[in-house]
Structure 1
Amino acid sequence: MGDQRMSVALGIIGFGIMGERLLRAALNHDPATLRPVAVWDPAPEAAARLAAIAPGVPMLGSAAAVITACDCLYIASPPASHLEHARAALAAGRAAFLEKPLSTNPADAEVFVAEAERSAARAAVNFPMASSPAVAQLAAWRETIGVPRSLAIECFFAAWPRGWQRDAHGWLDKPAQGGFTREVVSHFLFLTRRQLGPLALEEARTRFDAPGRAETATAARLTAGGVAVALAGGVGVTLKDDHNTWTLDAPGGAVRLRDWSFAERRAPDGTWQQAPDALPNERMRPLVLKGQLDKVAAMTRGEAQGLATLREAFEVQQVVEAILAAPA
């Protein structure tokens, strides 16, 4: 692991939407930096999809076999199994790159984070905004607008799960592991935590319209590094599959991130102006994932990088679970 020039062997557990997305990004990555070497998913159809996408990457027979084959394990299975796989990878001397949330059990997540910090484990969580060019642009603009006064976060959906997630309906629309607050709002809470400081929930209301189904609306008031934050989310309130804004107001103006990838600043006439190099999310995503994979390789080698830490992810999870526990 000490060889700065080694190509990191990436293993993947969970070959659903996120596992496939990261595999495709890894296939397009510089193989001298990182290369995918093995996948495991218990679903019978996963092997056929993998063979069609990457015939040179084997579907192994177990999670343990993938851990043995890799330098870094990407964990994209449903949340209930994240920590089991992460603990196994770290115990075997591998690095671990987890999807969020860390766990369906916040108490277990807290224990895991403390264990990993004590052992200086090479582990991080996949919050892609850590590598977003749009977020970098917002950070640069922030230098010109002064001390933030307030932040507004909006996350709205035509339906939940979103159209491209319907194959994962079995857990994404259930209150134990799914819902848009865990899946989407968490990204914007991570962005808020990283840009402004520690999160503190002051008040929340969450609505569940059907027993055994995920939430349909949420509203909350928080602070982040002392800045007031207003959060609103809901299903059936937009025609878009997914519409979100993260809007920061300051004495010298306002900046926002819109629909994941558009960095915008408010002009003197009140209109929003895009950054000159703004791209829609489907074109921005490959750039973001390349940045994430570069950081994953650096983490695996023990080098400095800017991925979301386990502690940051746990703090976000604490706030998310508190929002979901708040009655409407």
Structure 2
Amino acid sequence: MPTPVALGIIGFGIMGERLLRAALGHAAESVTPVGVWDPSQEARGRLAAVTGEVPMLDSAQAVIAACDCLYIAAPPAAHIRLAEAALASGRAVFLEKPLATDLAEARRFVARAEAAGARAAVNFPMASSPAVRQLASWRAGMRPEALEIEVAFATWPRGWQSEAAGWLARRAEGGFTREVVSHFLFLTRRQLGPLVLEEAAVDYPPGDAAETSIRARLSAGGVPVRLTGGVGTTEKDDHNSWTLNGAIRLRDWSFAERLGADGIWAQAPDALPNERMRPLVLRDQLAGVAAMTRGEEHHLATLREALDVQEIVEAILAAG
């Protein structure tokens, strides 16, 4: 088997911790975590609680120097600066979305990276989702006619994101359209084809807070798509659905379901709640990270796919 690639992590919030736990617990054959950097003293404490095997290094540059591939889980404003530093040092890069807070900057970055043949990918976990594979199997031979996407939240940010509320709750970098809807737009693009935004509306509260609701009509490979999202529209922390032709759907991230002749939605036999599915998905994401770092074919989201999604997201948000 190939030697596991050395993985560095910058940003040790929720996503950084999740990926590290997955690397340590499920993906030792793919990656070896070699260092973390986060300026927060609290992050240092959380890293020590997770493992004593992976050091908190002194700087972002120290992590870049130590790794083969850099995972960037810092807030969006830092993504491109860190990615370009890693690429310039000959490292591969695995980015959280969005690519940047400035769409023009994201376009320039992707153009440069593509021209240079950069080894880079973006963490859209649905690229590795067993539930998505099940949906793809069910829809084989099905002619796509209409897609409905719905996202709903009791509050924003979600309860488990309170530590990142400083930017997630703000219009400049945060909001559920960037954080959550982007995943379903990536899924739609992968499953149905290129995205075109036809019309959108968005509601913002006073001040600089992030959006509270969105409505949009799109097409994906010519298939009509209706998208709705809102805060305070469910009692659940997080509820979502991606429903094709009213016949098959992905519900709450991880449940592949299809409508029976009796009008009842039935889960795939191997369906798991998201908390149990997530480590398996991240294991396969990290297998893709290892392949990408070695310059091999991989299934991860490309920079171009992530940019296409960000173009739609920012156009929706600009409608307000």
The answer to whether structure 1 residue 274 and structure 2 residue 250 are counterparts is no
Matched letter for residue 117 of structure 2 = A
Question: Do the aligned residues in 2 keep the contact of 1:11 with 1:72 (CA within 8 Å)?
Answer: yes
**1:326 equivalent in structure 2:** 319
- Paired residue secondary structure (2:26): coil
Aligned to 1:192: 188
Query: Which residue identity lines up with residue 163 of structure 2 in the other structure?
Result: D
User: What is the percentage of aligned positions where both structures have the same residue?
Assistant: 69
> Which SS does the other structure have where 2:135 is aligned?
helix
Q: Partner amino acid for 1:179?
A: G
Match of 2:103 in 1: 106
Q: Secondary structure at the match of 2:247?
A: strand
**1:70 aligned onto 2:67:** yes
Q: Flag structure 1 segments of 5+ consecutive residues without an equivalent.
A: none
Q: What is the CA–CA distance in structure 2 between the aligned matches of 1:72 and 1:201, rounded to whole Å? A: 34
Q: CA deviation at 1:57?
A: 0.6
Matched residue, 2:296: 303
Following the alignment from structure 2 to structure 1, what is the Cα–Cα distance between the partners of residues 29 and 235?
Answer: 43
Q: Does 1:88 align with 2:85?
A: yes
Residue from 34, 37, 45 that aligns with 1:37: 34
Letter in 1 for 2:211: E
Q: Is the 8 A contact 1:29 1:35 kept in 2?
A: no
Q: Would the alpha carbon gap of residues 147 and 73 (structure 1) be closer, same or farther in structure 2, given more than 3 Å must change?
A: same
Structure 2: 5+ residue stretches without partners: none
User: Aligned partner of 1:258: which letter?
Assistant: R
Query: Residue 233 in 1 paired to residue 204 in 2?
Result: no
1:172-187 paired onto structure 2 within 5 Å: 172-187=168-183
Measured in 1, the distance between the counterparts of 2:28 and 2:188 equals 33
Distance 2:48 2:24 in 1: 13
Root-mean-square deviation (CA, aligned residues, Å) is 0.9
Q: Distance in 1 between matches of 2:190 and 2:116?
A: 24
Per-residue Cα deviation, 1:13-36 (whole angstroms, up to 9, x for no partner):
000000001010011134342111
Map 1:97-176 → 2, pairs under 5 A: 97-144=94-141, 146-176=142-172
1:154-178 Cα deviation digits (max 9, x unpaired): 0000000000001111000000000
Residues 172-223 of structure 1 deviation map (CA, whole Å, 9 limit, x = unaligned): 0000000000000000000000000000000000000221100000000000
In 2, the alpha carbon distance for the partners of 1:30 and 1:62 equals 25
2:188 is paired with a residue whose SS is helix
Deviations 1:95-149 (A, max 9, x none): 00000000001101001101111111100000000000000000000014x2100
Aligned AA for 1:298? A
1:271 maps to amino acid: I
Q: Distance in 2 between matches of 1:33 and 1:126?
A: 16
Q: How many residues align?
A: 320
- 2:6 matched residue in structure 1: 9
Deviations 1:81-101 (A, max 9, x none): 000000001000000000000
Task: Kindly provide the amino acid, as one letter, of the partner of residue 293 in structure 1.
Answer: L
Q: After the TM superposition, which of the residue ranges 268-277 and 176-185 deviates more from structure 2?
A: 268-277
Q: Tell me the SS of whatever aligns to 1:28.
A: helix
Alpha-carbon offset, residue 44 of structure 1: 1.3
Contact 1:157 1:236 in 2 (8 A): yes
Paired letter, 2:63? V
Tell me the distance in 1 between the aligned counterparts of 2:125 and 2:240: 15
TM-score relative to the length of structure 1 = 0.96
- Structure 2 distance, partners of 1:170, 1:34, is 31
